[in-house]
Amino acid sequence: MAENKKEALLIATRNKGKIREFRDVLEKAGFSVFSVFDKAPDLPEPIEDGQTFSDNAAIKAKYYAARTGMLCLADDSGLVVDALDGAPGVHSARYAGEDHDDEANNAKLIKSLQGVEREKRTARYVCVLALAAPGKEPLLAEGTCEGLIDLKPKGNEGFGYDPYFYVPSFGKTMAELDLDEKNSISHRGAALRRLQELLS
């Protein structure tokens, strides 16, 4: 994505799991990658009041680009469960309430799916990336990953809903995949590849 001289890129998130995944891909693509912790640790987080993943990704990218003067990459991503009419969706990080954590979000998800047959627990991870330079409208790219929700967790990798998100092509949950495997099929990896296509 970046040419010869390494371009500085800010990952506009405080989610350390996302930072790790983005850094793994983007440093290989030639960027000098920084996180909010590196460049804007005291900056308040923007209000994500969009109705879609695209809305929220754009809000974050433009906010951090304007305040840091850097090229910024933001994402909004979440889990869409068909049997729950698309929930948790854009509220994935706050599914169990504002004072959420992964454990509480997962507990609510599994409780909501009790009694639903496995083949009907189809779901997908969705990621929309927004790449914004200061004062510019962001470039958007979307990626998805299809799977099923298992009611019992497996694996210690990843974060969020990963221990419950079963990937049929691997026969494992997201939390059982190593980082290279995950990036090869994840919604975030797919969105990054789409962004690379748009940039090239």
18 is in an annotated binding site: yes
120 is in an annotated binding site: no
Question: What is the reported pTM?
Answer: 0.86
Could you tell me which CATH number the domain at 8-199 has?
A: 3.90.950.10
Catalytic, out of 76, 101, 150, 180:
76
- Mean pLDDT score, 20-38: 88
77 is in an annotated binding site: yes
Q: Which two tokens stand for residue 179?
A: 């980082």
Beta strands in 40-114 (DSSP E): 71-81
Best CA proximity match to 176, nearest among 143, 140, 152: 152
For 129, other C-beta atoms within 10 Å of its C-beta total 27
Classify residue 38 as exposed, middle or buried by CB count within 10 Å of its CB (0-12, 13-18, 19+): exposed
Angle at which helices 16-28 and 187-199 pack, to 10 degrees? 40
Q: Could you tell me the residue ranges of all domains in the chain?
A: 8-199
Q: Across the chain, what does the average pLDDT equal?
A: 92
Q: 80 by DSSP, 3-state: which?
A: strand
* Better-scored residue on pLDDT, 2 or 104: 104
178 is in an annotated binding site: no
Task: State residue 189's pLDDT score.
Answer: 87
Q: Residue 42 catalytic? A: no
Say which DSSP state 113 is in.
T
